[in-house]
Amino acid sequence: MRKETISGLGTITFIKRRNNRRINVKIEPHSNIKVSLPQHIPYHTAKKFVMENRLLIQNKIESINGRLTLFEQTTDFKTMWHTLRMKPDNCTAPSFSIDNRFITVNYPHNFSVLQPEVQKTVRDAIEKTLRMEAKIYLPRRLHEFALKYKFNYNKVFLKNLKTLWGSCSYQNNINLNIHLMRLPRHLIDYIILHELTHTVIKNHSASFHNLLNSILDDNIEEIKHELHKYSPQIY
């Protein structure tokens, strides 16, 4: 791994990966840029690639940052069991702690809460909390529904997905997004039952919807409409 500072882009992390076949650029919130490259490609070649694509990367950064949720002291953010608290403190760097009720993010008095270091700490704290809650709640709820409605699935994986709430593979492995823990419980149930239905029918045909409708007590169209108010991403 190597880090390089490039004017206009900031510090970029270059990582050689055995399975990479080409150079890939990943842009994370707050302009964190990671470049992965095959092991046989020199770092200077990857840096040249970034320089040649600088304008495209800058435009992508602006697009991502324009969609960011900015967490402030007044931000009302809750997971299933935790509430976010932002606290200025006598510390030298942002940090966080998680107890039974709160996600507490501490940051120095002389820092603006909007500084990238603070915002990144908030996101790290939220992701850790979501993983903790998801591990406790989602596999258990999935198992309950599978028993109740006689579905069979193979394995369950908890992931930090960017675009999907869940998915079901052809091997009946079920992926559930940890960000489900930000949804009301009836919407979580809908996603879980949706994926369990895919263990029987792998498409969204009329048969799929008929089976799902036979299980759900609620109106599916109303549930879908409510679900559209939420995003798997927190920005």
Determine the residue type at 95.
S
User: Burial, 137: exposed, middle or buried (Cβ in 10 Å; 0-12, 13-18, 19+)?
Assistant: middle
Please state the pTM of the whole predicted model.
0.74
Residue with tokens 């694509």: 53
* Residue 32: φ, ψ to 5°: -75, 120
Q: Which residue has the higher pLDDT, 4 or 77?
A: 77
Q: In what order do the strands lie in the sheet with 166-168?
A: 156-159, 174-177, 166-168
Which DSSP letter does residue 179 get?
A: G
**In a shared domain, residues 124 and 143:** no
**Does residue 8 carry a pLDDT above 90?**
no
74 part of a folded domain = no
Please provide the distance, in angstroms rounded to a whole number, between the alpha carbons at the two ends of the chain.
Answer: 28
User: For the purposes of burial, counting CB atoms within 10 Å of the CB of 84, is it exposed (0-12), middle (13-18) or buried (19 or more)?
Assistant: buried
Percentage of the chain surpassing pLDDT 90? 69
More confident residue, 27 or 125: 125
Tokens at residue 125, please?
Answer: 């704290």
Q: Which residue has the higher pLDDT, 226 or 65?
A: 226
What residues make up the domain containing 176? 135-227
pLDDT digit string, tens, across residues 41-64: 999 999 999 999 988 888 877 766
Q: Is the pLDDT of residue 111 over 70?
A: yes
Considering the domain architecture, whether residues 122 and 166 belong to the same structural domain is answered as: no
**Closest CA relative to residue 119, chosen from 165, 171, 73:** 73
- 123 and 148 both lie in a single domain: no
Q: pLDDT tens digits, residue range 195-208? A: 999 999 999 999 99
Q: What is the DSSP string of 78-100?
A: B-SS-EEEEEEES-SS-EEEE-S
Residue 151 sits in a domain whose CATH number is: 3.30.2010.10
Q: Which two tokens stand for residue 108?
A: 């120095």
Whether 40 maps to a domain, the answer reads yes
Helix (H) or strand (E) holding 46: helix 43-52
Has residue 235 been placed in a domain?
no
Q: Indicate whether 142 and 122 sit together in one domain.
A: no
According to the model, what pLDDT value does residue 67 have?
62
Q: Is 97 exposed, middle or buried (0-12, 13-18, 19+ CB in 10 A)?
A: exposed
Among 22-26, 162-166, 168-172, 217-221, the range scoring the smallest mean pLDDT is: 217-221
Question: Could you say which DSSP state residue 68 is in?
Answer: P
Residue 76 falls inside a structural domain: no
Share above pLDDT 70 across residues of the chain, in percent, rounded to a whole number? 95
